[in-house]
Amino acid sequence: MDPILKSEIGHLLGTPVIASRPLSGGDISNVTYLETAVGRFICKWNSGPRAMSLLQAEKEGLEAIAQTQTVKTPEIFHCAQVGDRALLIMEYIERKKPAPEDMRTLGEHLAALHEIKQEAFGWQSQNYIGSLVQNNRPAPNWPEFFTRERLQPQMRLAVESGFLQQEEVPAYDVLETVLRDRCGGVQPSLLHGDLWNGNFLISRDRHPYLIDPAVYRGHNEVDLAMSHLFGGFSSDFYSAYHSVLKSPAGEEARRDLYQLYYLLVHLNLFGRSYYPAVRQTLRSYFRPGS
């Protein structure tokens, strides 16, 4: 970290930065560990055109989860613009390798988050999934929201980028009908929105924390679907979660449909290696007679 930025961060914190080092895991923003006389911090910073918007959305998502008093999130100290760079300064959480009991606690706490019923599907503002805009215009029901705000925008982007052909994209009414048949009657919960195994940590004192959210109000099974996508979480996590919130019939089919959103996101972010999985789900659920 350059001396000018380090000095500006020290000014924000009210204490000089004694030491800093880059940390891994910052695919979109840079992540730096900071040490001061009064404590240790994490600084995420970005100088891209959407830098402040990205970090402000992350701040709002972390605060929304923290306000439920169910799952912990890092305390936020500053979200500020310094020159051409946006900064998000948070507490540093020293992590440990998750033990089975830690994963059970995470499952119970996530279920407690999802148990708190929300008033409507969507969110008060747009945010981001990775570096892609995630629109959150409210909708009166879940199939409409997931079709209009999740699947359709990613499919349009995939066509524009040449990753999908227009004839592979189901019509809006086909998408919504399939979702209504399989995902109707859903009540909204506050979601983390991007719950893969890089977006939680266990602290040294054995508290689960959620990080890097893409929050909105939706079906609780979306978080579970994402958690299964890249290797999944441990069985301890799922058994603890379902001891609090039982899973209605049809979860496996809904999981495929919800994972389609994340596969489309990865297709748009990282390219054609995700196309076969996207094509398989489209053919399985949206072709005539599916």
Active-site residue set: 194
Count of CA atoms in the C-beta half-sphere (13 A) of 115? 15
CA distance 86 to 109: 31
- Which amino acid is residue 281, in one-letter code? T
Q: How far apart are alpha carbons 137 and 217 in whole angstroms?
A: 11
Tokens 């914190």 correspond to 13
In terms of Cα–Cα distance, which of 77, 98, 111, 124 is closest to 192? 111
Contact 89, 13 (CB under 8 A): yes
- Helix and strand numbers (H, E) in the chain are 10, 12
Find where tokens 């020293």 sit: 94
Sequence-ordered strand ranges (E) for the chain: 17-22, 30-36, 40-46, 76-82, 85-91, 95-96, 127-129, 132-134, 189-191, 200-203, 208-210, 216-218
Q: Which residue has the tokens 């998750």?
A: 98
What is the rounded CA–CA span in Å between residue 15 and residue 90?
15
